[in-house]
Amino acid sequence: MYSINCRGKIYDTSSPLIMGIINATPDSFYEGHLQKSNDDILRLAEKMIGDGADILDIGGQSSRPGSDFIPAEEEMNRVMPVIKIIRNAFPKIVISIDSFNSAVAAKAIESGADIVNDISGGNMDEAMILTVAKLKVPYICMHMKGTPQTMQQHAHYENMLTEILDYCIQRVSVCRAAGINDIIIDPGFGFSKTIDQNFLLLKSFKIFRALGVPVLAGLSRKSTIYKTLDVDVKDSLNGTTVLNTIALMNGANILRVHDVKEAKQAQLLYSKIYV
């Protein structure tokens, strides 16, 4: 059984969890989730929780290809009010902070977040690993080469699966050595990977079971789906559900999604057969 400890409450990930994405950014690649006000955010959070979300992932720094970084202070100004209003309105929901900045992560945990979700796996802020260890919270460690600005230039591998698995083994070791007890691996669909590489990664997703930690799949409405289907991102929900179902069948413990209701339905049907 893989489990994560969030402030003393144990979550069993053998029954996969659903993580809903809440973007506190003005430039998300998916316009359907751009929130304009605190009321909008609360309505979205309420809907996601009602639809079955186990975790809400709050991000203020865009990671879409070519996006520009914002200073930590501006990132904090975006995400801290969101975390606080959601925590006050929904005290029992698990909140994740999506940030590669250790100062933002620490402030978010202080403001009510429970998990740190870092797209850089600690490689863009050398203080992140030790910060998370001190905070004693779960850590989502993602695979990416380069940065969001340069990652599409780094989709070159001698053996992609071996390199990603080796990276994950090394990061789990670093996290454990620092004192992080609850580690979640995200192989990083769409980050420094081509469309064909993303499909190979999904096909081979079971290899990450060897890590002995929960594994997250973040496929929601990504270009691998809408470019392959030749549709607009707003029409990529059906494709997202198909790939989320394949991810579940191949061992995903957490699905990170824009559309919680549909992901939860896929998870419930999957669980009737496989859990």
**What residues act catalytically?**
222, 256
Max CA distance (Å), the chain:
49
* Alpha carbon distance 258, 262 (integer Å): 9
Q: 2-33 burial by CB neighbour count: b if 16+ within 10 A, else e?
A: bebebeeeebebeebbbbbbbbbbeebbbeeb
Tokens of 42: 């609360």
| Phi/psi at 145 (5° precision) | -105, 135
Which of 251, 243, 253, 206 lies closest to 222, judged by CA? 243
DSSP count for the chain of H helices, then E strands? 9, 10
CB atoms within 10 A of CB 170: 11
* Alpha carbon distance 169, 191 (integer Å): 18
Q: What is the dihedral of CA 172, 187, 34, 11, to 10 degrees?
A: -50
